[in-house]
Structures are given as C-alpha cells and as structure tokens.
Amino acid sequence: MKKWSYIKKDVSLISKLAKDLNVSEDIAHLLIKREVFDFNSAKDFFRPNLKHTHSPFLMKDMDLAVDRIIQAKNTHENVLVYGDYDVDGVTSVSMMCLFLSSQQINYQFYCPDRYEEGYGVSKRGIDFALENSVDLIITLDCGIRDVENIAYAKSMGIDVIICDHHNPGKSNPNADAILNPKQKECNYPFKDLCGCGVGFKLILAYYQKNKLDLSKVYEYLDFVAVANLADIVPIIGENRIYTFHGILKLNENPSIGLFSLLNRLSKTKDISSSEVLFGIAPMINAAGRISHAGDAVKLLIEKELEQAEKYAETLFFLNNERKKIQNEIFEEALKQIDYNSYTTVVASSNWHKGVIGIVASKLIEKHYRPTIVFSESNGKMTGSARSISNFNIYEIISKCEDLCENFGGHKYAAGITIKKENYESFKNRFELLVSGNIDKELLKNKIDIDLNLDLNGLDDKFYRIVKQFSPFGPGNPEPIFCSYDLKLKYPPRLVGESQTHVQFTIETNNRIIKGIGFNLASQLKELNGDRINLCYSLGENFWNNKRELQLIIKDFY
C-alpha cells in the first residue's frame, strides 16, 4: 500500500469560485489546485486558445533559422532532417519532413541507430550527410551537447540548425542557429517545450515570415500532442494548449500514420491522453527499441493509407516483442535490488539496451528510489535513469560527470554512458550523493488525493466536468479521489491475460459501480471481508456498445 496524501482545502476560496462559476465546491477545489482562481482563468483552462501562445520569434536565433531554411528553398539545397530515436525525436523528424515536402524543399531523414551510434548527432550521421551532398542539417530533439560532431559537420561545409529542449552543456555547439528555450540568453517565456514543440515553433515562424496560411501549420499538432505526452513534459502553458488541440485533431482528422496506429488499437474515437501514452507512444517507441526508428518515421510521413497500415502492423509486432523482452529483464533486475539502499542501480551484459528505460520505470514501482538500469557491451555501460517525484536525478548524475563518457536528459529522466571499469565507482558515488541530498520523505511512494468523494453522490455530470480537465500530465495530473468503507457486492476477481489485474464491484445506495485495478493482484492478500477503502481516478468502460462509468483503482486496503 502507498501513502495517501491529502490536498488541503481553502474553504473561502472554494466557496467563492464555486459561486462565480456555478459549479459544485468539489469541482471548485479541483480547479484551485490547478491554479484556476476566477472566471477568466477557468475559461482559459477549459477552452485552451491557440492565440494565447507566444511568438516563435521570441526564441533566440529563430530569425537565423528561418532565413537559413528560406535560403535552402531558394537555392535548391539538400536538407538532412536528423532526429532522436524516441517518440519525441520520431514525431519531430516526421513533422519536419512533411513540412519540407510541402515547401518543395529537397530532404532526407536520418535517425541514429540506438545500439551502434547512441543518442545525439553521430559522426556516422555527418558522414551520411557528406555522402549525400547535404548542405544543411536540421537536428530535432538532440544536438545541444554535440559540440565535437557539430564542429565536424561545419568543417565539412555543412550548415546546422539545432532544435533541442535538453539542458545545454558548458558550451554550445558552433551551429548556424540554436533553438532551445533552455539556453542562456534565450528570452522565450515558456521553457518546457519538448523537441517536437521547438520544431513546431520553427515551422510556425517560417509560415509567419512568409505570410502563409497558418491553418496548415496547426495540422501538425497531433504530432506535437503525441510528443508532449510521451516525453512527460509539463502539460501547462503552451504545452497544454498544443496538446489539447492535438488531441482534438487525433479525434477529428489525424495524420494517416497516426490513424493507422489508432486502427491497430481498435480505437479511432474518444481518443484521450491515456490512449496516446499507453497505446500510440509504445508502438512508435518500439521501432527504435527493437529495430530502427526509421521504421516509425516511414509510417508517420506515409501519405497512402494502405501502405501506412502495413507499417503500422510492423510497429504493432515490434511492440509485442518489446513487451516480452522487457518482462524478462524486469524479472532478472528484481533479483539485483538492494532494498536497504537509497538508490537502485542494476546492470547486465545480457539486457536489451532498447528497453532498459521502461524497466527502470517499472523498478521504481517495486522499490521507490532513483533508479538506473545499465546494459553492457564492448566495454561500455549504457544506462537509463528514472527518478522519483520531486527529485532531480540529472543534477546528481552531473556531479558524477568525471566518471561518464557522456550523459544528457532532464530532471526525471536521463541517459548515460560510462566505461565498464567505472561502474562500481559510479554506483557507489551515485548512492552516496543521493543519500546525502534527498529528503527522506520523498522516498515514500505517495498518492496525492484531491478529494474524499461520496460515491452515492457521484453522477455523470461530475465525471463529464472532470473529463474536461484533460489532457493530463505533469502540472495537470488526473484528479485522484478516495472513498472509505465501501461495500463489495462480490469478491474481487482477477482478470487479464496474466491475471494481474483486479476487478471490483462496489454497491452504493443507488447503483452498482465497477472498478479495475491494473497490476494490483498482489495486494489482494491484504484484503479481508466485504468492506474496502479505495483510491482511484474516474474512467469509462465500453462493453457491448454500452458506456458506463468505472473507477480506475490506484490503491486499496
């Protein structure tokens, strides 16, 4: 069982907002937690407006980047779109390719091989550009720390535009333009764009400067929404606006590639952030993890539905393979955990490099600690780091920089490469630094609960309003509720292919409500009798063409 933490209520603020908006005090409480305090901020929250985003030209070097692309168009130059192999990188590359194609600009794309090249701009990628007479490279979701290889490209006469959102190093590459809100002297007001978001801003700036139809730019927002949700950036400010409208596009008129993935999920209506995060994103990611990210780019830039369906089938197969490999590694990694430590650092030469990030996230569910999973090959250890809530793992890793070949990332996730002989030293220092810098309260896996809800009063109207709080993500988490001393109509039963999920049937005064607890089967042994306390979010279940409200159980006792 996790620690249930309750959000404090400000009764006077709640009462005033409920009256001003003509909503229940429960809804008012949920809004205040999300910094919605009056009618205007509520209007902006429920109806995100594209007009409330910032001018792309506030970003440092934006004019330089746009002018360089205009030059490439006017002089018929060859452009290489270079991007990372994860969802953010793949959607960024695909979006930029479609844009360049629409402007009749000659382009090719390149995604590095996760295993042979690793993250970032590689020398092999630059050599590919040379072999193909490339005049300009546009990097997406990478490049900000690739000082040496950008210098190599420049020495070979290739210009470079960097679009990135990761933390810069001590010095920036000598590129022709660097678009990254996190770099020094960049006055762009919103710092939390993902890589695809930065690329989108570049395309938007191009359209504005050339006085083109901006509605064409907004057709790329489904890509941005998928990238935002998959990359776990804060869903606030511009990210919330773009994600909201991107999900609308997914529901109304998705790109052909994304539509094909939705078909594989048998879900082409009522698409939510959940379908993106747990359905679309893993299939896109599977290409770079198991095969090559180029497979996913080919899908997302495909314009013929029949061919797109074939590409989608490939990604569906790769994702199933990923699941099998991931589960095997997870079981092996569990045996290495030291439950007395402040960290989890595990490694093996037999582990597939493409899934260690997912395994790291799953290990945190078992041992709630900052976690790094390493895969070893050819004398090098490649690690994927994941953190716990409110703890900056990137800062800790940066204090081990002398033991690293390279690293990059952000507060909650990072990638790292070290020499095999430095593994034990790194592991020991990482443990020492975390133990000396972490607030011990952070090590308790907490669930922040918004409201203690009376299920007798739960109705469809309340759920419809809560649903409008989406899209959910960091900064705008899905509302979590709890209810106590509920009556179980039937004993909970195990469901799912591996019998790891639990189905509950709750009896209230006026209705029967079902609940599903994913991967909570191991907790059933702690339950006695027919009364239960639940922590949950609200969702829907579709069965035999019937839609019904259900509880998505997070914890119980």
pLDDT for 9 equals: 85
Question: Is the residue at 459 inside a domain?
Answer: yes
Query: Is the pLDDT assigned to residue 544 strictly greater than 80?
Result: no
pLDDT for 118 equals: 83
The CATH number that applies at residue 277 is 3.90.1640.30
Look over the chain and give the mean of its residue pLDDT values, rounded to a whole number.
95
pLDDT for 396 equals: 97
Domain boundary among 443, 473, 499: 443
Question: Is the residue at 130 inside a domain?
Answer: yes
Contact present, 181 and 59 (Cβ < 8 Å): yes
Contact present, 97 and 299 (Cβ < 8 Å): no
Same domain, 264 and 194: yes
The interaxial angle of helices 294-301 and 305-334, nearest 10 deg, is 150
The mean pLDDT value for 541-557 works out to: 89
The CATH number that applies at residue 389 is 3.10.310.30
Length of the chain: 557
Same domain, 26 and 40: yes
**Strand 451-452 relative to strand 481-488, pairing:** parallel
Please say whether the dihedral angle defined by the alpha carbons of residues 357, 413, 84 and 48, taken in this order, is positive or negative.
positive
Q: How many domains does the chain have?
A: 3
Same domain, 491 and 529: yes
Same domain, 143 and 288: yes
Nearest to 370 by CA among 333, 414, 403: 414
| Token pair recorded at residue 508 | 């209230």
Question: Is the residue at 160 inside a domain?
Answer: yes
| CA–CA gap between residue 140 and residue 93 (Å, rounded) | 7
For 54-158, where are the E strands, in sequence order? 78-83, 106-110, 136-140
534 pLDDT band (50/70/90 cuts)? very high
Same domain, 107 and 244: yes
Same domain, 304 and 341: no
Same domain, 165 and 282: yes
Tens digits of per-residue pLDDT, 477-519?
A: 999 999 999 999 999 999 998 899 999 999 998 889 999 999 8
pLDDT for 518 equals: 93
Domain that holds residue 380: 336-443
Same domain, 465 and 405: no
pLDDT for 108 equals: 98
Query: Is the pLDDT assigned to residue 70 strictly greater than 90?
Result: yes
CB count in 10 Å sphere of residue 265: 15
The mean pLDDT value for 321-328 works out to: 96
pLDDT for 77 equals: 98
Same domain, 11 and 158: no
Question: Is the residue at 330 inside a domain?
Answer: no
| CA–CA gap between residue 191 and residue 182 (Å, rounded) | 6
The mean pLDDT value for 409-422 works out to: 90
Domain boundary among 288, 318, 348: 318
Helix, strand, or coil here: 376? strand
Q: Which string of b and e fits 387-405 if b means at least 16 CB within 10 Å?
A: bbeebebbebbeebeebbe
| CA–CA gap between residue 205 and residue 2 (Å, rounded) | 47
Same domain, 394 and 486: no
545 pLDDT band (50/70/90 cuts)? confident
Same domain, 452 and 437: no
Tens digits of per-residue pLDDT, 172-181?
A: 999 999 999 9
Tens digits of per-residue pLDDT, 240-281?
A: 999 999 999 999 999 999 999 999 998 878 899 999 999 999
Query: What Å distances lie between residue 548 and 11, 36, 460, 466, 551, CA to CA?
Result: 32, 29, 9, 15, 10
Same domain, 61 and 14: no
DSSP secondary structure letter of residue 233:
-
Q: List helix spans (H) across 253-293.
A: 256-264, 273-275, 281-290
| CA–CA gap between residue 424 and residue 432 (Å, rounded) | 12
Domain boundary among 254, 289, 318: 318
CB count in 10 Å sphere of residue 215: 8
Instruction: Say which residue the tokens 């990372």 belong to.
Output: 84
| Token pair recorded at residue 96 | 């930029």
The CATH number that applies at residue 20 is 2.40.50.460
Please say whether the dihedral angle defined by the alpha carbons of residues 12, 15, 20 and 24, taken in this order, is positive or negative.
positive
